[in-house]
């Protein structure tokens, strides 16, 4: 893309294309040939102008798509070199132009716009939102009176998202659950062993970096996959068909660090389009509640996150202790009720309890009305996520830099958790376990969703019945490096759409 150099400037009254930034994350981006429609401003068009317009548009699309494949999260930290200049809204009445190829200032927050009218070509990015898992790339090329346009749509739920990840060896017959139903990709950074193929859904794949058992008629060399219960059940495939760059155990910590940055991207949160731009729970950090009141996060030992009685809102509580004795109401003080964050990610510097029985008695199921990924702590400050009750929702992610604990409410109760779970952990401690000092014998535990563990080590012995269905979760941003974008459609823009895009008057 060719642009003339520009300095940062302030402008007023421009027609803006506003994009609310939110989630990301899963399968290799495959570029396909692009069909375009031609927009003519005159009755006679030169072949040179047509070719130049197509070339400008295609080049921009391919370069941005390639950048996103290499680092899908880069759009949050940089205006991509082949993207149109962004408009940063530091001021309600004025905008600051941040040029292509420049770092995106954290102070600009997760909202930006475009004004692409003076360029010969441009690429605009509309990332997924709290209500949509789709990402859109729109591009135009203009030469003389010829304008062409193209819009490509990507999904963050590609088939290469693993339903189980382990940074160490994984035996599918010894996962800590009594009943397992595998659906998707089971991935081990070390070795993988398959003991019962009947538990795998049609088309499931076991991928390992070193060795996969059982062997088939073809010798399984390093970096192989094993397709189960499908037409290719006896076929060994290169694991790079699943991951070009495999995730390492350290990549789990990397995921947590990235999610933390996304959740805390805007240090001065504000309410935009019915969402809070950020929910970052840090001592003394700025908070904006659902009524637009601004205050500072109090000192606390732990926090509790639940769905509020008001639809579309979260209730956050704090306590001085990290051990809350079964999440009794007496231990917690209400911090406030908050709108869901626009990023889909809530970060907490504290031990974080999720779900409570006292908020909705006698129903001990906490149902989140929107997708939400809850991140607790960082690699430098490891904190746990404690599940206090059954959890349901359209896309829940539980991300612990420490471990994920499940609090047993009583011997008679069963817990059902519909969530993706990621844990980096501490040495010599299971990454998924029941809390100590409570008897849950006779109770049941059911988990539906991804398990991404730096090492596959669980201890759920307090439950007598343990079920896991390893489906891929739709939780926003979870887990970052494992979820990539896969193209689901590409369509030419009409004459009016391409012209509006080039003039900066339509998204």
* Closest of 172, 160, 248, 239 to residue 454, by C-alpha: 248
pLDDT one-digit tens code per residue, 202-226: 667 777 777 666 554 333 333 445 5
pLDDT one-digit tens code per residue, 9-41: 333 333 333 333 333 222 222 222 223 333 334
Token pair belonging to 433: 């376990």
Q: Could you give the C-alpha distances from 29 to 32, 155, 277, 473, 497, in angstroms and in order?
A: 10, 10, 28, 20, 25
pLDDT at 131 over 80: no
Identify the helix (H) or strand (E) that includes residue 17.
Answer: strand 17-20
- Using 50, 70 and 90 to split pLDDT, how confident is the model at 361? low
What 3-state class would DSSP assign to 344? coil
Most confident stretch, 3-12, 77-86, 340-349, 403-412: 340-349
pLDDT at 475 over 90: no
Looking at the whole model, is its pTM more than 0.75? no
- Between 72 and 372, the more confident residue is 372
* Size of the chain, expressed as the number of residues it contains: 507
- Between 80 and 48, the more confident residue is 80
Quick one: CA torsion of 213, 218, 223, 224, rounded to 10 degrees? -70
Q: Could you give the C-alpha distances from 47 to 38, 60, 498, in angstroms and in order?
A: 12, 20, 19
Token pair belonging to 304: 């509790």
Distance CA 61, CA 292 (A): 39
The CB density around residue 70, as the number of other CB atoms within 10 Å, is: 12
What 3-state class would DSSP assign to 437? coil
Token pair belonging to 105: 């200032």
Distance CA 201, CA 184 (A): 8
Residue the block writes with tokens 């391409």: 498
pLDDT one-digit tens code per residue, 427-462: 889 999 987 545 555 578 999 999 999 999 999 988
Identify the helix (H) or strand (E) that includes residue 66.
Answer: helix 47-70
First-to-last alpha carbon distance for the chain, in angstroms, is: 19
Distance CA 104, CA 106 (A): 6
pLDDT one-digit tens code per residue, 142-200: 887 788 889 988 765 544 567 888 989 888 888 999 988 887 778 888 888 887 777 87
Q: Give the model's pLDDT for residue 249.
A: 77
Tell me the domain boundaries of the chain.
10-158+485-502, 182-241, 249-479
Q: Give the model's pLDDT for residue 476.
A: 76
Token pair belonging to 202: 């049609």
């Amino acid at each position: 893309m060719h642009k003339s150099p520009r300095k940062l400037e302030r402008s007023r009254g421009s027609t803006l294309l506003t994009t609310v930034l939110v989630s990301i994350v899963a399968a290799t981006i495959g570029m396909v040939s692009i069909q375009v429609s031609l927009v003519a401003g005159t009755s006679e068009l030169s072949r040179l102008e047509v070719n130049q317009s197509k070339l400008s548009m295609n080049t921009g699309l391919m370069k941005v798509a390639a950048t996103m494949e290499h680092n899908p999260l880069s759009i949050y930290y940089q205006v991509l070199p082949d993207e149109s200049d962004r408009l940063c809204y530091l001021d309600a009445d004025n905008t600051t132009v941040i040029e292509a190829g420049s770092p995106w200032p954290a102070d600009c927050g997760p909202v930006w716009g475009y004004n692409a009218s003076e360029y010969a070509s441009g690429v605009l990015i509309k990332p997924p939102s709290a209500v949509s898992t789709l990402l859109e790339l729109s591009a135009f090329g203009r030469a003389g009176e010829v304008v062409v346009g193209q819009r490509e749509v990507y999904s963050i739920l590609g088939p290469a998202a693993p339903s189980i990840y382990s940074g160490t060896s994984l035996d599918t017959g010894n996962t800590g659950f009594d009943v397992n139903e595998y659906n998707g990709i089971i991935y081990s950074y070390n070795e993988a062993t398959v003991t019962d193929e009947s538990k795998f859904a049609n088309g499931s794949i076991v991928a390992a970096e070193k060795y996969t058992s059982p062997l088939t008629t073809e010798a399984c060399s390093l970096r192989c996959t094993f397709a189960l219960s499908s037409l290719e059940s006896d076929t060994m495939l290169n694991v790079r068909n699943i991951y070009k760059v495999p995730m390492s155990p350290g990549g789990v910590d990397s995921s947590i660090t990235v999610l933390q940055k996304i959740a805390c991207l805007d240090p001065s949160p504000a309410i935009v389009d019915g969402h809070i731009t950020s929910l970052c729970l840090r001592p003394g950090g700025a908070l904006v509640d659902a009524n637009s009141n601004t205050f500072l996060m109090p000192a606390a030992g732990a926090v509790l996150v639940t769905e509020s009685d008001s639809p579309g809102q979260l209730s956050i509580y704090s306590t001085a202790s990290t051990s809350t004795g079964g999440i009794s109401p007496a231990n917690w003080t209400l911090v406030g009720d908050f709108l869901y964050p626009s990023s889909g990610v809530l970060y907490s510097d504290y031990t974080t309890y999720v779900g409570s029985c006292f908020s909705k008695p006698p129903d001990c199921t906490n149902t989140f009305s929107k997708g939400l990924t809850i991140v607790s702590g960082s690699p430098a400050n490891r904190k746990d996520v404690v599940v206090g009750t059954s959890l349901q929702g359209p896309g829940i992610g539980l991300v612990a830099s420490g471990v994920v604990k499940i609090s047993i409410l009583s011997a008679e109760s069963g817990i059902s958790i519909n969530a993706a779970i990621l844990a980096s952990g501490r040495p010599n401690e299971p990454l998924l376990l029941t809390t100590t000092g409570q008897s849950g014998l006779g109770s049941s535990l059911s988990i539906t969703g991804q398990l991404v563990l730096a090492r596959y080590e669980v201890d759920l012995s307090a439950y007598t019945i343990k079920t896991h269905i390893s489906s891929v979760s739709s939780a926003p941003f979870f887990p970052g490096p494992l979820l990539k974008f896969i193209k689901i459609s590409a369509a030419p823009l009409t004459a009016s759409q391409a012209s509006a895009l080039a003039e900066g008057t339509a998204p």
